[in-house]
Structure 1
Amino acid sequence: MSQPSISSKKRLLFIFVVSTLAIFSLIIRLGWIQIVEGEWYKEKANAQQTRDIPIPAKRGIIYDRNGKELAISASNSTVWAKPKEIKNVEETAESLAEILDLDEEELKKDLQKSYGLVRVARWIDDDLASKVRQANLKGVWLAEDNKRHYPFGNFASFILGHTSDDNEGLAGIELEYNKYLKGYPGRWIKNTDGAGRQLAFSTERYHPPENGLNVVLTIDEVIQHFTEKAVENALEINDATRVKAIVMDVKTGDILAMSAKPDYDPNNPRTPLDEELAKALEEMDNEEKLKTWFGMWRNPIINDTYEPGSTFKLITTAIALEEAVSTPESRYYSSGTINVAGRTIKCWRHYNPHGDQSLTEAVQNSCNPVFVMLAEKFGVGTFYNYLDAFGFTSITDIDLPGETGSIMYNESLVGPVELATMSFGQSISVTPMQLITAISAIANDGNLMQPKIVKELVDNDGKVVQRFENTMIRQVISKKTSEEMREIMESVVSEGSGKAAYIPGYRVGGKTGTAQKVKDGVYAQGLYVASFIGIAPADDPELAVLVIVDEPKGFSTFGSLTAGPVVKEILEESLRYLDIKPKYTAEEEEKLVKADIVVPEVRQMTVKEASKVLNESKLLYNVETEHDHDHGDHEEDDAIVVDMFPKPGASVPENSIILLYTKHDENASTVKVPDLKGKTIREVNNILSNLGLRLKISGSGLVAKQQPEADSVVEPGTVISVEFMTNSQ
């Protein structure tokens, strides 16, 4: 056997060394992958095999104080896709684009991604969701999603605010309480192979979402409705730029209603309700659009300031009374003007001066010079101490986002002229929320309450998680001063410039305000802010209402004529809704209250005789028995009254209608069946018994069906089958 050559040995040695190095390198590489980079590859493998589907949390409901739903989350379907699982992108994009009315090319770009999840379409309706399921597209699936919905459209939009597409609060309560409302999202995690099939023996994990808490507002949906209706009407009647209104519970600080028009629909927050603005928006660039949107969403009641004008005179008057520099009976003389540090300040009626008047009359007359005199007496330091005490030097801290503070001079810069103009509500700008809070304190025995718009937070089981209690900040004026102020405010409505807010049976107090509007730092000619603040009942206030009409261009610019009637409308409807009974004066009773009449006995009389007796008693009547229309009026007049409702002896207001049930002619061989639909069991029983017919009933409430039908001719004694239904049915 021949020995291997030296060259063969070298080749074998080379192959051996190379093979050894290669194997050793592979061992090192494998060790590196397994030990050093093992965790990274494990995570990457899990990521490729794991389908992680987000499950959004259901946003909490926003209720009014009585449990009425104002904002809810409706369940919808969202279409998701995983590009790596889609084999034919073009066919998938074509199918989805056709079903969902999407741009096919844009969708193709999204589906060509090599990683992650793609949200194809959000909040599609049930019909489209069904079509997507039927298409059975690989790598495409539906997941439940929640869309925010506001059942009443633009109702209370500045209070509720709205959310983004990702269900994050962007304005109002939705923003302020976002962390409570939004909850925590869940996840659905499962392991799949490259084809998207779930792996055998894999662990599927479902982490349910934690739904958000529900927010219960202090708002009363009914009072909010009254307010919105009144504000909408005022905007149109006065041809105003904007109208704002707040209703506050004087004793608690609860906001019962808050409205400003024009507003927006939180269901479509980027589409203005004004058609002209909507068209203009289409031509704007993105920056202009953002500015327009934020301006549209801005709540002017807490985000904007205005010069309150004469409504602020109530603050000056309260300070003067509390500091004992005046009494309601103190006398003042106004010549129509007053000179302050060389500057002439006029009364609104300077051409016909008010002359000698008491402080109460000065408030009624809204005479500027008198309030200048009061401010001069108590001085700048005292004035600013009370401005601070009434809350004008800070925000009210109401639970709504973006609240603005007042704009006023620094105390050190206030001279005689500045003090004089501030005394009657000019040269100082406040928010509507600050003013109504301060005036409510005047009406509430001097107690300044913390205004609030959220009552409590509750979970899905109705359990209260957090309750926001009523908070008294401080007592600003004495109970005696408060009582005097309420009497003065009531006199403004009963005798002074606020007569437009007078409501018979209710003691209403108030104050008008008309201020020239400031634009670009100067008073604009012909532009005014008209306002009225009212409280009721003045002897024991429950409600305070502030209405502001911005730039009225209608029949008047005076607050008494533009804002006063709006306050009256809101107060009148709200007081009756709250079951606060009217207390009429003797004069009001004589004019307005109808006297109670005792119902006389008219049974066994003919209809003609009964009508005469009822007319003499100032009562009306209605005959309920059916008769053959061919018989004529004379026979009906001779019909005998066998029953009546209300019964004799009952007390009813004059002009009330008395139902008379008459007896049918017993000698008749046939009877015409009357129309019984809409009548009560009692009425039907009386009618049929008088006609000699028998009754078979089913159900309860009002008649919905009858057999035989109305106008059928039957014999006396025939059974009439009647089916009753309640109104809700």
Structure 2
Amino acid sequence: MAKAPSRLTLIGGAFVLVALAVVGRAAQLQLGQGEQWRARAAAQQTVRVSLPARRGTLYDRTGVPLAVSQETYAVGVSPRDLDDVAPAVPILAQALGLPAQRVAAQLAARRVWMEWPGPFTWTRVAPLKRMRGVTLMRRLERFYPRPELASGLIGRLDVRGRGASGLERAFDSLLAGRGGTAVMIRDPVGRLYPSPSRPVAEAVDGADVVLTLDAELQDIADRALRQGVADAGASGGDVVIVQPETGEILALASARAGSTGAVGGTLVGDAFEPGSTAKPFAAAALLRAGRATPIDTVFAENGMWTDERGRRIHDTHPSAVLTLADVIRVSSNIGIAKLARRLTHVEEYEALRDFGFGTPTGIELPGESGGTLRAVRRWTDESAASLAMGYELAVTPLQLAAAYGVFANGGVLLEPALVREVRDAEGAVRSRHRTRPVRRVLSERAAAQVTNMLMGVVEEGTGRRAALGTYPVAGKTGTSRRVVAGRYREGRYWASFVGLFPAVNPQLVLVVKIDDPSGDYFGGAAAAPVTRAILEAALATPAVTLDRTRLARRRLDDAPEGGVAAAAAAPTAVVPWPLGEAVADSQPRAVPSVTGLDVRAAVRALHQGGFRVRLVGAPRGAVTAMSPEAGAAAPRGSLITIRTGAADAR
């Protein structure tokens, strides 16, 4: 009979089995599930956190910051990870602004982690960046140095730090940068500590954007617009100021229901019917098609006209016979409607299209409207006259500014721009704006002729309230009925004025639009004074983007007084003859008397008489002498010399 195992043997066998089970389980955990458990342990001890990227700065054209991310730092130290505590103490003490003895004592306390919240500037903590065991914790806050300056235009951020409105939103992809990541160590109670030995993906800071805006001119436009809206009892208004020779936008201002600066609405997104500010485009179309000259005449029906279709057209300033230049000067609806009949529908449409209407300008802002310019096949019998008067056409203030830039640029349409430069975080220029011509719309001569007409508007016509006492201004007033819910509403108007400053070699194109003015709702009363206020303030502010040398030269040329030295410098010029090439007529005619008239009136009288004009002296003031004398017989196209008071000083 087999002997039963002893109690000791059974206990030993049990231990062996337990040991084998433990070894087997350990082998399973180490070999079969090792990676899984190691990942769990790492997840419990570490956590991956996001590192914010510095948002790029928005600058104006002169380097004035408009939106800045303020960057401050906290300093954390893991004493056990320092390579050598002794040399680290003075560096830390200097960066933290603490006594070296105090820092040394804190490091010797054998704490796992130490933190100094600051805030510290980058200049202070930069020497610590590459020290092992030291972590710089960046904090970013968006700051607007001049929060009252075009706040709606510049925009603000949302709770996530992304652009929510205005330029902050429009350029968010450039400004935002790319966030980084860092691995933090979690202690048994859940506190996080940076680990210098763990890999970190550095954040890539956003690009800086240098705008074409002039902060000083923007501030001037904001203030003048607010005052103009208040003075007119209006519901709102807009201002656009463009540098015509580059297409760069210098100011965008908007006022709506007590708020200012919004850019997403009427400036680029909402179009309006321009009214009489569109008449110069009809005049330009006539000139470029060879259908009229500035002195061609039309009968303006003494202020009221019913065409053959029964449409009644009236003028605010009744007139009889007007030249094309006079039609623009007094803003005659009847005159421009009649003259526009000389154009084919295609000629009128193509001229408006070439000025940029009916298509977006391409500005770097979301939601831009292209306005409305219907194809010829969709015109009615009234469309040609309506378009010439500024109806059946919808434009944005920016489109209108770009189109008037054609007259200032010698006939060339430029693409407007809002970004001057984009720079990376290191300051290197990634892109720079270059002037981009779109097309030639007019000849230089035609552009100069229209500009000359616009000078007459300010000097003697509907835009007198935009005139300055120092420099000549060219421009055009406009008044149009507002469309509400698809219908023209009685008593609701847009009043507008577009100015070129100075009138000769313009440096600024200004568009002012006032919505729903009360009382005197015409553009010459509600919008022109805002233009004048902007120009007066700009001239009184040295920091505004203006070529003062060119202005001083222009002012010297215009000065009627100044003694012998000034008189000696008086210019001599042949005033452009609106009839084209001079061809002498075999039939002599009497030279009209212009002595005592101001220069512009004298030139107009001589041109209307069929003579060319040579001006000696300043192009302002009264005519003091003429040759040949008044009453002398001279063929058509003969050159008549007129002198101003400055020339007589010699």
Q: TM-score, structure 1 length as denominator?
A: 0.62
- Across the two proteins, how many residue pairs are aligned to each other? 503
How far apart are residue 353 of structure 1 and its match?
3.0
How far apart are residue 198 of structure 1 and its match?
7.7
Query: Which stretches of structure 1, 4 residues or longer, exceed 6 Å deviation after superposition?
Result: 9-26, 123-126, 197-202, 585-588, 593-596
Deviation string, structure 1 residues 577-609 (Cα, Å, up to 9, x no partner): 42222756999757xx9999xxxxxxxxxxxxx
Q: Distance in 1 between matches of 2:394 and 2:205?
A: 42
Residue identity matched to 1:64: D
The CA RMSD over aligned residues, in Å, is: 3.8
Q: Write out aligned runs for 1:76-475 (5 A).
A: 144-196=138-190, 203-262=197-256, 298-335=264-301, 336-340=303-307, 342-349=309-316, 353-475=318-440
**What runs of 5+ residues in structure 1 fail to find an aligned partner?**
79-122, 127-140, 264-271, 275-294, 597-729
Q: Write out aligned runs for 1:50-69 (5 A).
A: 50-69=46-65
Change (3 A) 1:563 1:28: same
Of 518, 523, 537, which aligns to 1:559? 523
Which structure has more relative contact order (CA 8 Å, sep 6+)? It is 2
**Per the alignment, in what secondary structure is the counterpart of residue 315 of structure 2?**
coil
Q: Distance in 2 between matches of 1:461 and 1:143?
A: 20
Deviation string, structure 1 residues 630-662 (Cα, Å, up to 9, x no partner): xxxxxxxxxxxxxxxxxxxxxxxxxxxxxxxxx
Residue identity matched to 2:245: K
- Which one has a bigger Cα radius of gyration? 1
Deviation string, structure 1 residues 107-163 (Cα, Å, up to 9, x no partner): xxxxxxxxxxxxxxxx9999xxxxxxxxxxxxxx99542121212113123432222
Deviation string, structure 1 residues 70-124 (Cα, Å, up to 9, x no partner): 111124689xxxxxxxxxxxxxxxxxxxxxxxxxxxxxxxxxxxxxxxxxxxx99
How far apart are residue 550 of structure 1 and its match?
0.5
Q: Which residue of 2 aligns with 1:71?
A: 67
Change (3 A) 1:398 1:158: farther
How far apart are residue 332 of structure 1 and its match?
0.3
**Per the alignment, in what secondary structure is the counterpart of residue 490 of structure 1?**
helix
Q: Write out aligned runs for 1:555-704 (5 A).
A: 555-575=519-539, 577=542, 578=546, 579=548, 580-581=551-552, 583=554, 589=560
**Per the alignment, in what secondary structure is the counterpart of residue 67 of structure 2?**
strand
Check whether the contact 1:312–1:424 (CA below 8 A) recurs between aligned residues. Answer: yes
Q: Distance in 2 between matches of 1:273 and 1:371?
A: 38
Q: Distance in 1 between matches of 2:195 and 2:369?
A: 60
Change (3 A) 1:192 1:314: same
**Per the alignment, in what secondary structure is the counterpart of residue 223 of structure 2?**
helix
**Per the alignment, in what secondary structure is the counterpart of residue 159 of structure 2?**
coil
Q: TM-score, structure 2 length as denominator?
A: 0.70
Q: Distance in 2 between matches of 1:200 and 1:409?
A: 64
Check whether the contact 1:158–1:259 (CA below 8 A) recurs between aligned residues. Answer: no
Is residue 3 of structure 1 aligned with residue 3 of structure 2?
yes
Q: Distance in 2 between matches of 1:54 and 1:21?
A: 44
How far apart are residue 58 of structure 1 and its match?
1.4
**Per the alignment, in what secondary structure is the counterpart of residue 301 of structure 1?**
coil
Check whether the contact 1:545–1:571 (CA below 8 A) recurs between aligned residues. Answer: no
Deviation string, structure 1 residues 666-707 (Cα, Å, up to 9, x no partner): xxxxxxxxxxxxxxxxxxxxxxxxxxxxxxxxxxxxxxxxxx
**Per the alignment, in what secondary structure is the counterpart of residue 469 of structure 2?**
coil
Residue identity matched to 1:393: G
Change (3 A) 1:584 1:217: closer
Q: Percent identity?
A: 28
Deviation string, structure 1 residues 519-554 (Cα, Å, up to 9, x no partner): 00000110100000010222211111110001112x
Check whether the contact 1:505–1:585 (CA below 8 A) recurs between aligned residues. Answer: no
Check whether the contact 2:513–2:527 (CA below 8 A) recurs between aligned residues. Answer: yes
Residue identity matched to 1:581: A
How far apart are residue 337 of structure 1 and its match?
3.7
Change (3 A) 1:586 1:55: closer
Q: Distance in 1 between matches of 2:292 and 2:118?
A: 68
Residue identity matched to 2:552: K
Q: Distance in 2 between matches of 1:569 and 1:202?
A: 60
Q: Which residue of 2 aligns with 1:522?
A: 487
Q: Which residue of 2 aligns with 1:537?
A: 502
**What runs of 5+ residues in structure 2 fail to find an aligned partner?**
75-116, 121-134, 566-650
**Per the alignment, in what secondary structure is the counterpart of residue 517 of structure 2?**
coil
Residue identity matched to 1:3: K
